[in-house]
Chains A and B, each alone.
Chain A
Amino acid sequence: MEKKMYRTAILETLAAEMERDPNVVLLGEDIVGGMGTPGGPEAIGGIWKTTEGLFGRFGADRVIDTPISESAIIGAAAGLALSGKRPVAELMFADFVGVCMDQIWNQIAKFRYMFGGKSRCPVVIRMAYGAGRNASAQHSQSVHQMLTGMPGLKVVMPTTPADAKGLLAQAIRDDDPVIFLEHKTLYATKGNVPDGEYLVPFGHARLTRAGTDVTLVSFGLMLGYCEQAADLLAAEGIGCDVIDLRTTSPLDEEAILDSVEVTGRLVVVDEAPPRCNIATDIISLVCAKAFVALKAPPVAVTPPHTPVPFARELEAAYLPSPEKIAAAARKTLSWK
Chain B
Amino acid sequence: MQLSREALLRAYRQMKLIREFEERLHVEIMTGEIAGFTHLYSGQEAVAVGVCEHLTADDKIISTHRGHGHCLAKGVEVKGMMKEIWGSREGTCKGKGGSMHIASEEHGMLGANGIVGAGAPIAVGAAIAAKLNGKGGVSITFSGDGACNQGTTFEAMNFAVVTKAPCIFIFENNHYSEHTGYEYAVGTSGDIASRAEAFGMKVWRGDGTDFMSVYDTMRDVLEYVRAGHGPASVEFDTERFFGHFEGDPQRYRADGELDRIRAERDCLRKFRDSVTGAGLLSHTELDSLDAEILDLIQSAVDDARAAERPTAEDVLTDVYISY
Contact = CB atoms under 8 A, between A and B. Distances in A.
Nearest to B97: A310
A33 B146 contact: no
Interface stretch (A95-103, A238-246, A283-291): A95-103
Interface in B295-320: 309-312, 314-316, 319
Interface residues of A, number: 44
B323 A274 contact: yes
Nearest to A72: B151
A212 to B, nearest CB: 32
B176 A312 contact: no
Contacts of B36: 133-136, 310
Contacts of A35: 180-181, 184-185
A137 B151 contact: no
B312 A139 contact: no
A129 B147 CA distance: 22
A255 to B, nearest CB: 29
Nearest to A305: B323
Nearest to B87: A311
Given A35-B184, A37-B176, A37-B180, A311 B322 contact: no
A47, A98, A307, A311 pick with most chain B CB within 10 angstroms: A311
B146 A67 contact: yes
Contacts of B321: 305
Contact of B252 (A43, A70, A99): A43
A43 B179 contact: yes
Contacts of A44: 179, 248-249, 251-252
B37 interface: yes
A30 B179 contact: yes
Contact of B115 (A33, A34, A72, A96): A96
B319 A306 contact: yes
Contact of A304 (B117, B309, B316): B316
Interface residues of B, number: 54
A39 B251 contact: yes
B312 A29 contact: no
Interface in B169-220: 176-187
Nearest to A69: B149
B152 interface: yes
Contacts of B113: 138
Nearest to B312: A317
A2 interface: no
Contacts of B184: 35-37, 65
A210 interface: no
A33 B253 CA distance: 12
Given A134-B98, A311-B87, A34 B151 contact: no
A309 B319 CA distance: 12
Contact of A309 (B95, B186, B322): B95
Interface of B: 35-37, 87-89, 95-98, 100-101, 113-117, 146-147, 149-152, 176-187, 248-249, 251-255, 257, 309-312, 314-316, 319, 321-323
24 contacts: A36-B183, A37-B179, A37-B181, A38-B257, A43-B252, A67-B149, A67-B186, A70-B150, A95-B114, A96-B115, A99-B115, A133-B36, A136-B37, A137-B97, A137-B114, A138-B114, A304-B322, A306-B315, A307-B319, A309-B95, A310-B97, A310-B101, A313-B310, A313-B312
- Which 8 A-B pairs have CB atoms at the shortest separation, nearest pair first? A36-B184, A36-B181, A311-B87, A310-B98, A38-B254, A138-B114, A134-B35, A317-B312
